[in-house]
Amino acid sequence: MYAYNEFDQKFVRQRVSQFREQIEKRLNGSLSEEEFRTLRLMNGLYLQLHAYMLRIAIPYGSLNSDQMRKFAYIADRWDKGYGHFTTRQNIQFNWPKLENVADILDALADVNMHAIQTSGNCVRNVTADHFSGASIDEIEDPRPSAELLRQWSTDHPQFQYLPRKFKIAITGSPNDRAVVKAHDIGLRILRNQQGEVGYQVIIGGGLGRSPFVGHTIREFLPKADLLPYIEAILQVYNLGGRRDNKYKARIKILVHETGIEEITRRVEENFKLQKSEFQKPSDKLIAAIEKRFLAPDFEQSTYENFEAERSESPQFDIFVKRNIADHRRENYAIVTVSLKNIGQTPGDATSEQMRVLADIAQRFSHDELRISHEQNIILPHVQKRHLPEVYKLLQAADLASANIGLISDIIACPGMDYCALATARSIPVAKDISRRFDELKLEHEIGDIKLKISGCINACGHHHLGHIGILGLEKGGIENYQITLGGAADLTMAIGKRAGRGFSAEELLPAIERLIGAYLDLRTSREEVFLSSLKRLGHSPFIEALYPKKESQNVA
């Protein structure tokens, strides 16, 4: 884990006292609501439907047990005993009061955390592969690069008032688990032919109203040039991005309207100027940061008990199959803890669960935890010999759902249960779907599938990237849900296609059932997952299932 130095500490404390003053200024009239709004958003504070909401950064999704315990403390002391983990590796508290926010931020600073730039038109929390530092396929741990970007972007004097928000994601593996092509800037660590490590730089990806797959602007950027190159992109965007229309203000629209060739030219030209501004080469900075990432002291161990438990307990065996991924150390495993219990709100954890997870991480995962963009929690370094015990502890805390990658492992944004921008609810939809397929006992039969739900076109729930995507809208004064098919979030990133007219809340669940029914009928075998059937057969048989003939005759 990255440990703050004196400067980081001082900076974060200063920022808290600055925000305390800003709240004061809003209350005494020195700042208008419009001005205060901009400033509070830069400090992660939203005003939602029922209350304020505080979004706290979990930089590149990594945290330790003390930090997790602090979330539990905040949840109990100033909120309602739970927190919501988001698709951008943040945690949100839904019920803080304005007068307590600065105290919450001070409590966070005690454990090297903050809420800086988790909202607002600035560079947001940099996200990274949630298996960083543990996965078997990694070229290099992306977190030191992500930490460098965090430092660079924090309070960057030019880029606090961008045309719109700016999201950066980075992955260190060929298997993209950070959805880098759906970000304003996506970075992929790779090796060139000389064997040097650098980045593929992708820009202009994004979801929302106009979804785009990002364009590669640089096939190979040497590590030493990271900051000047990113600075060049941001400066071109800050000066050129549209400010006349909120929906056209993201860099993806600038790239789309100007053309990637012209943007590349501007960035490369600007990059030459920036190189003289950045006197410290980025690779040296990253190397210095690496020293502050305390790598775990991996142990040697055998794990006969693990194999024995697998053959004895079918339940444990299913958990292992669904929730465990290969670790770079053969005697270790990566455990994904599902926050998607049947019928519960995706991504929510109670303060009690947070404490249990913190304890498990401290005892069994070298004190490390990760948050995935799929709203689950990762224990990245668990010895296989400890897995049976970890499983029991998870079970006792209601955290042992063996459903990773299944239909109940739904990504869902808060939707109109909380979000002021929402056009419909998404949480009840997620709960209904997971309950229904659990009742039908079909979950494991259906197998791997990604279902993602957003409560409005902003697409925080990544619905475009779901094999099945659900978008909540309003139609004629009631909630209405549009289904998209065929999205994908990995390196083959694809944007789902709209299936047809939307469904009312009551029609939606039966429609999803018909869709899944069609897949089960049409697949060649259990090995052919939903997305493969969709690719093999095209969308039409699935659309027919969604809109059966009888109904279309009625309409005609």
Partner 1 sequence: MARAFVTKIVTANDLLVGDAVYLTSSNLWSRDFHEAKICLNEDEATRLLDSTNFHQHHIVGAYLADVAARDGRPVELLHFREKFRTKGPSNYFHGKQEFNNQQGVA
Partner 2 sequence: MSLEFTQDQNSIIVRDGKFCPPHEQKPGKTIELKSGENFTPADFSDTDIAVIVINVLAFNDGRAFSQAKKIRTSGFKGILRLKGPVIADQYPLAIRCGFDELEISASEAKRQPQFQWSDALKRTRDNYLTRLTEMEVNGDQSELSPA
CB atoms within 10 A of CB 268: 14
Q: Does 168 bind ligand SF4 (CB under 6 A)?
A: no
Task: By CB under 8 A, name the one of 112, 121, 344, 372 that touches partner 2.
Answer: 121
- Which residue ranges make up the site for partner 1 (CB under 8 A)? 26-27, 29, 32-33, 47-52, 80, 82, 94-95, 97-99, 345, 416-418, 422, 425, 427-428, 431, 474, 477-479
Task: By CB under 8 A, name the one of 3, 273, 295, 308 that touches partner 2.
Answer: 273
List the single partner that 184 binds among partner 1, ligand SF4, partner 2, none, CB under 5 to 8 Å by kind. Answer: none
Q: What are the residues facing 382 on neighbouring strands? A: 333
CA distance 89 to 86: 6
Query: Of the ranges 8-16, 323-331, 420-428, 529-537, which one interacts with partner 2 (CB under 8 A)?
Result: 8-16
**Minimum distance, C-beta of residue 194 to partner 1, in the bound complex (Å):** 53
**Minimum distance, C-beta of residue 29 to partner 1, in the bound complex (Å):** 6
User: If 0-12 CB within 10 Å is exposed, 13-18 middle and 19+ buried, where does residue 312 land?
Assistant: exposed
Contacts of 405 (CB under 8 A, 6+ apart): 322, 448, 449, 450
**Minimum distance, C-beta of residue 48 to partner 1, in the bound complex (Å):** 7
228 or 414, CB closer to ligand SF4? 414
Number of H helices, E strands in the chain: 19, 21
Q: What is the residue type of 222?
A: P
**Minimum distance, C-beta of residue 503 to partner 1, in the bound complex (Å):** 16
Nearest to 498 by CA among 447, 550, 542, 552: 542
List the single partner that 353 binds among partner 1, ligand SF4, partner 2, none, CB under 5 to 8 Å by kind. Answer: none
Q: Does 458 bind ligand SF4 (CB under 6 A)?
A: yes
Phi, psi of 53 (to 5 degrees): -135, 130
Query: Residue count at the site for partner 2 (CB under 8 A)?
Result: 47
What's the first-to-final CA gap in the chain, in angstroms? Answer: 61
Task: Return the DSSP state at 138.
Answer: -
List the single partner that 99 binds among ligand SF4, partner 2, partner 1, none, CB under 5 to 8 Å by kind. Answer: partner 1
**Minimum distance, C-beta of residue 161 to partner 1, in the bound complex (Å):** 21
CA distance 80 to 348: 12
**Minimum distance, C-beta of residue 189 to partner 1, in the bound complex (Å):** 38
Residue at token pair 């003939």 = 549
List the single partner that 251 binds among ligand SF4, partner 1, partner 2, none, CB under 5 to 8 Å by kind. Answer: none
The string over 370-402, giving b where at least 16 C-beta atoms fall within 10 Å of a residue's C-beta and e elsewhere, is bbbbbbbbbbbbbbbbbbbebbebbeebebbbb
202 or 285, CB closer to partner 2? 285
36 or 220, CB closer to partner 1? 36
Q: Does 91 bind ligand SF4 (CB under 6 A)?
A: no
H/E stretch holding 69: helix 65-78
**Minimum distance, C-beta of residue 24 to partner 1, in the bound complex (Å):** 12
> What is the per-residue binding string for ligand SF4 in 372-411, x denoting contact by CB under 6 A?
----------------------------------------
> What is the per-residue binding string for ligand SF4 in 404-443, x denoting contact by CB under 6 A?
---------xxx---x-xx---------------------
* Residue 424, CA atoms < 13 Å, CB-side half-sphere: 29
Contact between residue 463 and residue 484 where contact means Cβ atoms under 8 Å apart: yes
Phi, psi of 507 (to 5 degrees): -75, -20
**Minimum distance, C-beta of residue 106 to partner 2, in the bound complex (Å):** 17
Task: Return the DSSP state at 492.
Answer: T
457 or 489, CB closer to partner 1? 457
CA distance 556 to 554: 5
CA distance 424 to 481: 8
6 or 439, CB closer to partner 2? 6
Q: Does 25 bind partner 2 (CB under 8 A)?
A: yes
8 or 79, CB closer to partner 2? 8
Cα dihedral 440, 441, 443, 444 sign: negative
Q: Does 277 bind partner 2 (CB under 8 A)?
A: yes
List the single partner that 345 binds among ligand SF4, partner 2, partner 1, none, CB under 5 to 8 Å by kind. Answer: partner 1
Contact between residue 485 and residue 475 where contact means Cβ atoms under 8 Å apart: no
Contacts of 496 (CB under 8 A, 6+ apart): 463, 464, 465, 466, 467, 468, 469, 484, 485, 486, 487
21 or 196, CB closer to partner 2? 21
3 state DSSP class of 184: coil
10 or 265, CB closer to partner 2? 10
Q: Could you say which residues in the range 172-231 bind partner 2, by CB under 8 A? A: 227
Q: Using CB under 8 A, list all residues that contact partner 2.
A: 5, 7, 10-11, 14, 18, 21-22, 25, 29-31, 35, 38-39, 121, 148, 151-152, 154-163, 227, 235, 238-239, 243, 273, 277-281, 284-285, 287-289, 291-292
Summarize as ranges the residues that interact with ligand SF4 (CB under 6 A): 413-415, 419, 421-422, 454-456, 458-461
